[in-house]
Amino acid sequence: MESFQNTQPIYLQIMNLIKKQIATSVFNPGQLLESVRELAMIYQVNPNTVQRALSELEREGLVRSERTIGRYITKDEAAIAQLHQNLVDEATSTYINNVLELHLSPEEILTTVKSRLKGDNT
Amino acid sequence: MESFQNTQPIYLQIMNLIKKQIATSVFNPGQLLESVRELAMIYQVNPNTVQRALSELEREGLVRSERTIGRYITKDEAAIAQLHQNLVDEATSTYINNVLELHLSPEEILTTVKSRLKGDNT
DNA sequence: ATTACTGTATTAAGCACCTAATACAATAAT
DNA sequence: ATTATTGTATTAGGTGCTTAATACAGTAAT
């Protein structure tokens, strides 16, 4: 059913999903992406919504569109590595800011992360 | 200016902000909260938006409203402690899910967090 | 040439969120 | 008693996101 939250625009969620897939080589550099209509089927959303997500990703240089052929993932592997690093950094900053605001000490933060990694806490 | 993102409903952002303030004793148990109109001034949003946020918090039992007096933070300190724990757990789960999806190993996750805590990375 | 696929564009409708402008009943302070 | 404040409710308008239904130009395969 590949559904989405309702608290954030779907096109942003799709952007983040595809970014993750590029960063983790689910999509390889230079690979031809599924078509707008196919992705719309997969995600169970309107083609216009997919189109919007992909347009934004193109604006960020992660994909490029070939007018009547389809969309390709960028071949720039350095950019992809950078993307991966940015996603990690952003997630980490957000998390640490969050728990610091909750008044956890650095030691408590580490303990919390460790216990979550050990236990099978889904 | 206390402004908000535009990717998430403002009333949800206000809810989370107040939750954090309750969980970290910025607001104490049983304390009288600022009025809807005052909070609207502080956050620079419409009073209706604050009203919505507070109504939801009331539905969750974190505040209670006294018809023509104002709103009180709950006196239930156990509930507040539970809230704090939930916020930490939720943030941690979200973070670890994120970086696992980015294919970081548990060791890499710990290293990443540690280096962020040591360096002055804002 | 026909067919099936690409990305792209447009129009209309519905929905959630946010704002603005009021209004009302009840309490506290004067 | 009057005044200022409280939470609450209502109406109207604007905006952004999403969907649906089309349409068009260009490419690939038959």
How much is the average pLDDT of A23-34?
Answer: 97
CB B51 within 8 A of CB B36: yes
Q: Taking 50 as the threshold, does the pLDDT of residue B4 lie above it? A: yes
CB pairs under 8 A between A and B: 82
Q: In which band, very low, low, confident or very high, does the pLDDT at A1 lie, cut at 50, 70 and 90? A: very low
* Position A100 pLDDT exceeds 50: yes
Instruction: Give how far B37 is from chain A: nearest CA, Å.
Output: 25
| B48-72: burial string, b at 16+ Cβ within 10 Å, e else | ebbebbbebbeeeebbeeeeeeebb
Please list the residues that pair with B63 across neighbouring strands: B73
The mean per-residue pLDDT over the stretch B75-90 comes to: 98
Q: Which of A104, A118, A122 is nearest to B90 (CA)?
A: A122
Q: Which of residues 19-58 of B touch A (CB under 8 A)?
A: 20, 23-24
Q: How confident is the model at residue B119 (pLDDT cuts 50, 70, 90)?
A: confident
Q: Residue A71 forms beta bridges with which residues? A: A65
Listed by start position, the domains of chain B span 10-75, 78-118
Is the CB of A68 within 7 Å of strand D? Answer: yes
Contacts of A98 in chain B (CB under 8 A): 87, 91
Q: What is the pLDDT of residues A43-90, one digit of tens each?
A: 999 999 999 999 999 999 999 999 899 999 999 999 999 999 999 999
Q: Are residues A80 and A30 in contact, defined by beta-carbon separation less than 8 angstroms?
A: no
Distance A64 CA to C5 C1' (A): 18
Inter-chain touch B113–A109, beta carbons under 8 Å: yes
Written as six digits, the tokens of A59 are 């604006």
| pLDDT at position B1 over 60 | no
B interface test, pick of A96, A99, A110 with most B CB neighbours within 10 Å? A96
* Confidence (pLDDT) at B2: 52
Is pLDDT at A8 greater than 80 in this prediction? yes
Fold (CATH) for B10-75: Arc Repressor Mutant, subunit A (1.10.10)
| The token pair that represents B1 in the structure block | 């200016």
Helix spans in chain B (H): 10-23, 36-43, 47-59, 77-101, 106-118
In A28-85, DSSP assigns E strands to 63-66, 70-73
